[in-house]
A and B are shown apart, each in its own frame.
Chain A
Amino acid sequence: MSAGDAGLVNQKYALLPAFLQAKGLIRQHVSSFNHFIASDLLKIIKAKGNERVTCDADPNFYLRYTNIYVGRPSLEEDYIQTELTPNQCRLRDQTYSAPISVDVEYTRGKEVVIRKGKSGAGAILIGRMPIMLRSDRCVLTGKSEEELAWVGECPLDPGGYFVVKGTEKVILIQEQLSKNRIIIDTGTPALAARHSHGAVVASVTSSTHERKSKTNIVSKHNRLMLKHNAFTEDVNIVIVMRAMGVESDEEVLQLVGTEGPFASLLTPTLQHCKEEGVYTRQQALDYLAGKVKGSGRPASPAGGGGFTRRTRSRVDEARDILANVVLCHVPVVQFDYQQKVTYIAVMVRRMLYAKLDPSFIDDRDYYGNKRLELAGGLLALLFEDLFKRMNADLKRQADSSLSKANRATQFDIAKCIRTDTITFGLEHAISSGNWTIKRFRMERKGVTQVLSRLSFISAVGMMTRITSQFEKTRKVSGPRALQPSQWGMLCPADTPEGESCGLVKNLALMTHVTTDEEEAPIARLAHIMGVEPASLVNQSELRERGCALVFLNGNILGVHRRPKYFVRSFREMRRRGRVGEFVSVYMQHDTVQIASDGGRVCRPLIICDRGVPRVKDEHLQLLRMGKWNFNSFLHSGLLEYLDVNEENNSLVALYEADCGPRVTHLEIEPFTILGVVAGLIPFPHHNQSPRNTYQCAMGKQAMGNVAFNQLNRMDTLLYLLCYPQRPLLTTKTIELVGFDRLGAGQNATVAVMSYSGYDIEDAIVMNRASLDRGFGRCIVLRKYGTSLKKYANRTQDRIVLPAAAVGPASAPRPAKFRVLDRDGIAAAGEVLTQGEILVNKQMPTNTRDPVSNPAAMPDTFYRNAPVSWKGYTGGEKCVVDKVLLTSNDDCSCVVKVLVRHTRRPELGDKFSSRHGQKGVVGSIWSQSDMPFSERGLVPDLIMNPHGFPSRMTVGKMIELLGSKAAVCTGRFHYGTAFGEPAGLADKVESISQELVEAGYSYSGKDFLHSGITGEALEAHIFMGPVYYQKLKHMVLDKMHARARGPRVVLTRQPTEGRSRDGGLRLGEMERDCLIGYGASMLLLERLMISSDQFEVQVCTHCGLMGYKRHDGLAVCPLLRSPEHIASLRIPYAAKLLFQELQSMNIVPKLLLAEA
């Protein structure tokens, strides 16, 4: 760090808190949802197929939507409108949703009715929209910490999720290949193997509001063929072009490009066209008509509303397919194929380029070719589908009503609008995660997940998670590998291990995901800046030297004669704020691409002019003084967002010192390449890479504080730490995220030494006195709940104190009713023992037949359906923490009982540091047995030094040193990733200096005495504080053993699993061992006698199993006599098999011999 540039290097970090303050931690979800509410909704109701509902019976009838509104989250109960808060919804099992209303215009009889709502709401309610927390419509937005406290919400909670039926649901970010872009690929591996090279495929997945289709151009016998679902087989591309009006071969060549070997490469295709005898447009259309799928029956567009089409000629149909289905994103207005032909030519051209030079082949895994689909986009798809369904319903009602000749009343369609379709559709999709969109035949499962509230970090980590559409079972490495283009966009460390490794990713700290931006103004601007529309120039001019085609979101916009100048000035326009900040423009091969579509990942960078950063000290000064915010930097053209593609046109310097003359951008902070979860790790850049990945998985299992409102929540399972601490060694990410306010761990004094054998294999030895004083102490809260249902015969469930418990005060209550209060629900603060009833619920025995007086039925009418507490083995005592009585959406009473259990660490509980070093408690020793230092320090836990050499977690060692110095100096130390040059991480050298000043060894090693013998230890021991996390895996929840217990009814074998008190399985491999060893009697005992031994009577003559006669004698089923019956013991499962075989006419016979 030289003195000259120290200023900026040290200060530009200040941009990061400003960025997060302006945008929030999970801006991508919120901005996508806001965009959906603000503009997508209106676009959907104004779309061609949605705006009007018409009727076949009455041509004058129509219903037109003029506007749509989404209100504030509210709830109407007993005709009183109240504002909803998210926490209320969580507690009451409700959906946090707002009414959607529309303005309409429709005909009622002869008159036209215009209905408009007022004050920001529409006239007619059409459903309810679940509202994303912290979005514009959410009640939490813009509230101060104190105001948030009043509505029971945690200020650090990032939002970005939904509350549906009381559960928090996240719509995961979905990754997919970008739409409407040409991708040159090598095709399937099988294809590539056949043709050593040149098996290139150009494919485009077109996607518009109405339709999705995939178009491929493949090379077959050196002929270029169009492959599309609408055609029965591949068709020659030249024929297709001919059908679009390009009749001469010369024109084809001019379109594709006349230079180089293109002509010769196209010859076989042109030849084939000639062989097929296709010369004119009409011939081509005729030819294509023969290949159209469905042989004459028109393919009805999905979601079209089912109106009948006039039958058309097949040629018309082929023309229609070419216009609307093939490459449907390229607009064809009145059968003018000019644009589409040019587009096909570009595809062919790029394909031919790739044939000649494999470097032109695109990489599918390249992140510029990926788009992320967020909550907003997914909800838009779903909403449009539901909206169409609602309209179809309206139309059906209109049809059936208006077709009747004489109606009693005038048909008013506004009265027919039902809110259920949309409300339940949205609610159900979000709560189940099944995204079914009929018009695209899309059926996705697992789109939403329940927000994990294990720890604060697990919740935040979930909001940045990206899932890929790839199947997990496929053993391909490509999509799983870390792609260089993911730099700065996706966290390189945070991915799960195992089957979904590399397919589930996480966003980096500063990544932003774009939302759709209006294309028309951008196109207008581009034309003003000299882009000539492609239709206005000669085909040969398209390919002129120095010219470049300009694409906007994958569509050809036109040609520019000075593309580099155009790109430069377009960027300047963006920096001046004339174009949206997320619009990207870049050169790709010989084309200029402008992208404004949603789902691109991008991140902010400092702009440099010839290697001089534009951000100067004075700007940062303004920021510090609070006069500027992040957006001021953006609007002043000092920073800009770059997406993955545009990064390819830039040279980004990591540090200011690297800024050479060709550098165009400077990173804000290098550690922003990591995500939120990986940001918790101190000194991750000193660790072996997989260790950081392991920590990312484990940080989500660490117990601690969940949120500030954790004690007002009623989650099914909540793990809390009694005394959470903030780490002595923090990182900047920790501060930015708020982990220092909601910690999940404790600073334990660790001695790295081998002390007794109870610390081998990653086990740790703990100090009992530390545990006595509260180290690792945690609280487990578990919810038990029930609701009181109402039945059809007006009876309902009830909760009462049982008669046996009411009796005279002197008579003791039955044990299981001990904790019940007078209302039949356990009282808060009661200590529970095994098998006690928490809620004494009773259900009516008869819920169907009408009863005379449903309110006053005798006790005999009810049967018990209590909620009871199972409890832990070993006399662990739990306490009723609190009881909640409320009503849910169906107005039925809900009872929730929270049971609390405080646990101290015990043998076998799992702990981990922040470096992927997990271990279980191997032994707990008293303080007097632990070693002690010359300063009287006794470690909280002892860790084996063998954990270091193979794991190479140097970061942990530095953490220990740094924490020790932090304790000595009273200053929190930093370990931000890559932070040493910028002063965001303490250097080992300076830490050592501080240690020496405090009187410790520079190496962090101490002189220790054994606590057992009292002698000095030979080795110096590396000792100091390390932040340790207690993980949720605890012995108490897992330990299980059984001697005898329940059996499965069908097979009579022991049940499986701890929850069913199951047996411990002697599996196949164990069986193999016993066989190999020859322990046959043990085998027999384990597999039959102790499992499902059964005695059967077998007839020695016929070999069938007999049965017991009325006199108790076993008889043969055929001979019906008790003679020749032998008794033998077989597994019940075998007997079952024989009988099952018999039931399908296979007779197994047991042939017995004297042993």
Chain B
Amino acid sequence: MARTKKKQQAVPAPAPGSRDEAATSYGTQQLPDALELARTRVLCGPDVNIHTTSTIAASQWASLGVDAAFDLEKFKKGFQVDITRYEGYDMEFEMKGVSCALANSLRRIMISEAPTMAIEHVYIVNNTSVIQDEVLSHRLGLIPLKVDPRLFQYKAKEDAPSEQNTIVLKLKVECRRLPNSGMENDKVYSRDLQWLPEGSEMPDETSCRFASSQAALVPEDVRPVHDDILIAKLRPGQAIELECHCIKGVGDDHAKWSPVATTWYRLMPEVVLLQQPRGKIAEELVEQLPGLLQLLGSGDHATVVVGDAPCSLCWGACVDKERYMPYLQLRKIKDHFIFTIESTGAWRPHELFKYAVQLMVSKCDKVLEGLQAFPARSFKT
């Protein structure tokens, strides 16, 4: 989250300086400053946020001579994605110049519509642990698997399991007391899951028969993303033997298929000095908002400048809000998203994002298709 935010020094503030760089100026006419502020910024008060809405009709400001319609060229000019952080399965990037609806759609698609592989059917041969069969199966299902779901097909209920739509994993552990009074396998971890590329070892029961080995199909061995997820604890003499069949699914059906732990965005914050506080008030402000503001000068000549420190909700500590309201304003830029993707491991986050965009495109195509069919049908009569 370590992000520097834009410095704003303009003292009478209403004109947002990002207008030129946001590059979504509309038509030839400019909106009045107040409206422009309301259009591009969320004003965060201590109690309420105003101008949160971003739904705009193309004709909203037609009377002012401003065209609010979407324009591809302008979009192309203004749109920008910068990756700011990429650590393992987590990615943070900034996306500028898109509407909130689009950003949200991408978020929603990633959570609930991007597919992954997850354990769905568990055939339990033996389970003498204290964990009940259903609970054990539920735990197994939530283990993220490191396998590219694009290599597989969806399996409908009536489909027979095959190497095209099913991955088979085996778990066979037995806890024993070791001669040195220790215990073996007293904890069952996700690393104990074994991939069976040749398919089920008990095809009669599971009716899962592979035509060919999956080893050729899948470039890497299938294994859980994390090796140290605790599945169960055993005591000497207890054993678990089971076979897990993984299928492809989406997060909408069950959270275990969601490719992300979560993904979200926040809006780019912006701190604006409405009026330069001086003297005592300036000192107080700096004290109340350490890091956010920096003190210049001292005594009666003290002034402040907006610092570099991160700020997510800088009204936090500022208890006497009423007093500082005239000097300071916290805003958020409506079309500047700081997006975070925390992938569970099946997808690389950037690939996932790309996939979400593609899915969005195909959804739009579908709508267009529908729209094309629409006039033909309705006007033929």
A1019 within 8 Å of B (CB atoms):
yes
Residues of A near B42 (CB, < 8 A) are: 1016
Residues of A near B103 (CB, < 8 A) are: 1014
What is the bound-complex CA distance between A328 and B134, given in angstroms?
A: 67
Residues of A near B133 (CB, < 8 A) are: 829, 879
Residues facing B in A907-954 (CB within 8 A) are 926-928, 932-936, 938
Taking a contact as CB atoms under 8 Å apart, the answer to whether B317 and A996 are in contact is: yes
Smallest CB gap from A1007: residue in B: B313
Residues of A near B132 (CB, < 8 A) are: 779, 879, 881, 900, 902
Residues of B near A1006 (CB, < 8 A) are: 313
Taking a contact as CB atoms under 8 Å apart, the answer to whether B100 and A927 are in contact is: no
Q: A879-B133, A936-B342 are in contact. Are A1018 and B317 (CB under 8 A)?
A: no
Residues of A near B262 (CB, < 8 A) are: 927, 932, 936, 938
What is the bound-complex CA distance between A1006 and B49, given in angstroms?
A: 11
Q: A774-B138, A928-B107, A928-B111 are in contact. Are A1013 and B101 (CB under 8 A)?
A: yes
Tell me which of B50-58, B63-71, B164-172, B207-215 binds A: B50-58
The 8 A CB mask of A493-531 against B (1 = contact, 0 = none) is 000000000000000000000000000000000000000
Taking a contact as CB atoms under 8 Å apart, the answer to whether A1013 and B255 are in contact is: no
Taking a contact as CB atoms under 8 Å apart, the answer to whether A926 and B52 are in contact is: no
Taking a contact as CB atoms under 8 Å apart, the answer to whether B53 and A1015 are in contact is: yes
Residues of A near B340 (CB, < 8 A) are: 936
Residues of A near B101 (CB, < 8 A) are: 1013-1014
- Interface size on A (CB < 8 Å)? 42
B267 within 8 Å of A (CB atoms):
yes
Distance (Å) between the CB of A1152 and the closest chain B CB? 63
What is the bound-complex CA distance between A1014 and B108, given in angstroms?
A: 9
Residues facing A in B265-323 (CB within 8 A) are 265-267, 312-313, 315-317, 319
Residues of A near B263 (CB, < 8 A) are: 936
Tell me which of A25-33, A127-135, A765-773 binds B: A765-773
A411 within 8 Å of B (CB atoms):
no
Residues of A near B94 (CB, < 8 A) are: none
What is the bound-complex CA distance between A711 and B256, given in angstroms?
A: 28
Smallest CB gap from A936: residue in B: B264
Taking a contact as CB atoms under 8 Å apart, the answer to whether A1001 and B315 are in contact is: yes
Q: A768-B255, A902-B132, A927-B255 are in contact. Are A1014 and B319 (CB under 8 A)?
A: no
Taking a contact as CB atoms under 8 Å apart, the answer to whether A934 and B313 are in contact is: yes
Residues facing A in B137-182 (CB within 8 A) are 138, 142
Q: A879-B134, A999-B312 are in contact. Are A1017 and B49 (CB under 8 A)?
A: yes
Residues facing B in A999-1033 (CB within 8 A) are 999-1002, 1006-1007, 1009, 1011, 1013-1020
B332 within 8 Å of A (CB atoms):
yes
B251 within 8 Å of A (CB atoms):
yes
A777 within 8 Å of B (CB atoms):
yes
Taking a contact as CB atoms under 8 Å apart, the answer to whether A1000 and B316 are in contact is: yes
A722 within 8 Å of B (CB atoms):
yes
Chain B contact-residue range equals 35 or more
Taking a contact as CB atoms under 8 Å apart, the answer to whether B313 and A1017 are in contact is: no
B84 within 8 Å of A (CB atoms):
no
Q: Which of A773, A934, A1016 contacts B142 (CB 8 A)?
A: A773
Residues of B near A1016 (CB, < 8 A) are: 42, 49, 52, 267, 332
Taking a contact as CB atoms under 8 Å apart, the answer to whether A1017 and B319 are in contact is: no
What is the bound-complex CA distance between A938 and B108, given in angstroms?
A: 13
Taking a contact as CB atoms under 8 Å apart, the answer to whether A1020 and B48 are in contact is: yes
B343 within 8 Å of A (CB atoms):
no
Smallest CB gap from B342: residue in A: A936
Residues of A near B238 (CB, < 8 A) are: none
Distance (Å) between the CB of A213 and the closest chain B CB? 59
Taking a contact as CB atoms under 8 Å apart, the answer to whether A927 and B258 are in contact is: yes
Residues of B near A711 (CB, < 8 A) are: 130
Total A-B pairs in contact (CB under 8 Å)?
119
Taking a contact as CB atoms under 8 Å apart, the answer to whether B52 and A1015 are in contact is: yes
Q: Which of A773, A999, A1015 contacts B255 (CB 8 A)?
A: A773
Distance (Å) between the CB of A1045 and the closest chain B CB? 32
Q: A927-B251, A1002-B319 are in contact. Are A1014 and B100 (CB under 8 A)?
A: yes
Smallest CB gap from A1008: residue in B: B49
B104 within 8 Å of A (CB atoms):
yes
The 8 A CB mask of B26-53 against A (1 = contact, 0 = none) is 0000000000000000101001111011
Q: A772-B256, A779-B132 are in contact. Are A1001 and B52 (CB under 8 A)?
A: no
B194 within 8 Å of A (CB atoms):
no
Taking a contact as CB atoms under 8 Å apart, the answer to whether B50 and A1000 are in contact is: no
Residues of A near B252 (CB, < 8 A) are: 926
Residues of B near A1014 (CB, < 8 A) are: 100-101, 103-105, 107
Taking a contact as CB atoms under 8 Å apart, the answer to whether B48 and A1018 are in contact is: yes
What is the bound-complex CA distance between A397 and B361, given in angstroms?
A: 101
Taking a contact as CB atoms under 8 Å apart, the answer to whether B255 and A772 are in contact is: yes
What is the bound-complex CA distance between A1015 and B337, given in angstroms?
A: 11
Distance (Å) between the CB of A904 and the closest chain B CB? 9
B354 within 8 Å of A (CB atoms):
no
B112 within 8 Å of A (CB atoms):
yes
What is the bound-complex CA distance between A1091 and B142, given in angstroms?
A: 51
The 8 A CB mask of A869-899 against B (1 = contact, 0 = none) is 0000000000101000000000000000000
Name the residue among B103, B105, B134 with the largest chain A CB count within 10 angstroms: B134
Smallest CB gap from B315: residue in A: A1001
B216 within 8 Å of A (CB atoms):
no
Residues of B near A934 (CB, < 8 A) are: 264, 266, 312-313
Residues of B near A1007 (CB, < 8 A) are: 44, 49, 266, 312-313
Residues facing B in A814-859 (CB within 8 A) are 829
Smallest CB gap from B135: residue in A: A722
Taking a contact as CB atoms under 8 Å apart, the answer to whether B49 and A769 are in contact is: no
Taking a contact as CB atoms under 8 Å apart, the answer to whether B332 and A932 are in contact is: no
Taking a contact as CB atoms under 8 Å apart, the answer to whether A1020 and B112 are in contact is: no
Distance (Å) between the CB of B129 and the closest chain A CB? 11
B254 within 8 Å of A (CB atoms):
yes
What is the bound-complex CA distance between A1006 and B342, given in angstroms?
A: 20
What is the bound-complex CA distance between A722 and B107, given in angstroms?
A: 31
Distance (Å) between the CB of A378 and the closest chain B CB? 39
What is the bound-complex CA distance between A1009 and B112, given in angstroms?
A: 17
Smallest CB gap from A904: residue in B: B138
Distance (Å) between the CB of A245 and the closest chain B CB? 77
Residues of B near A902 (CB, < 8 A) are: 132, 134-135
Q: A829-B133, A928-B112, A999-B316 are in contact. Are A1018 and B342 (CB under 8 A)?
A: no
Distance (Å) between the CB of A176 and the closest chain B CB? 46
What is the bound-complex CA distance between A936 and B317, given in angstroms?
A: 21
Distance (Å) between the CB of A1090 and the closest chain B CB? 40
Taking a contact as CB atoms under 8 Å apart, the answer to whether A772 and B111 are in contact is: no
Taking a contact as CB atoms under 8 Å apart, the answer to whether A1019 and B48 are in contact is: yes
What is the bound-complex CA distance between A773 and B317, given in angstroms?
A: 35
Residues of B near A933 (CB, < 8 A) are: 264
Name the residue among A938, A1011, A1014 with the largest chain B CB count within 10 angstroms: A1014
**Other A-B pairs beyond A928-B107, A935-B312, A1009-B265, 5, CB < 8 Å:** A769-B251, A927-B111, A1013-B101, A1013-B104, A1020-B48
Interface set of B (CB-CB < 8 Å, partner A): 42, 44, 47-50, 52-55, 100-101, 103-105, 107-108, 111-112, 124, 127, 130, 132-135, 138, 142, 251-252, 254-256, 258, 262-267, 312-313, 315-317, 319, 332, 340, 342
Instruction: Supply 18 A–B pairs (Cβ within 8 Å), ascending by A.
Output: A772-B254, A772-B255, A902-B134, A926-B111, A926-B251, A935-B264, A936-B262, A995-B316, A1001-B313, A1002-B316, A1002-B317, A1002-B319, A1007-B312, A1009-B264, A1013-B104, A1014-B107, A1015-B100, A1019-B48
| Those 9 A-B pairs whose CB atoms lie nearest each other, nearest first | A1014-B104, A772-B255, A769-B255, A936-B264, A934-B266, A928-B108, A902-B134, A1016-B52, A928-B111
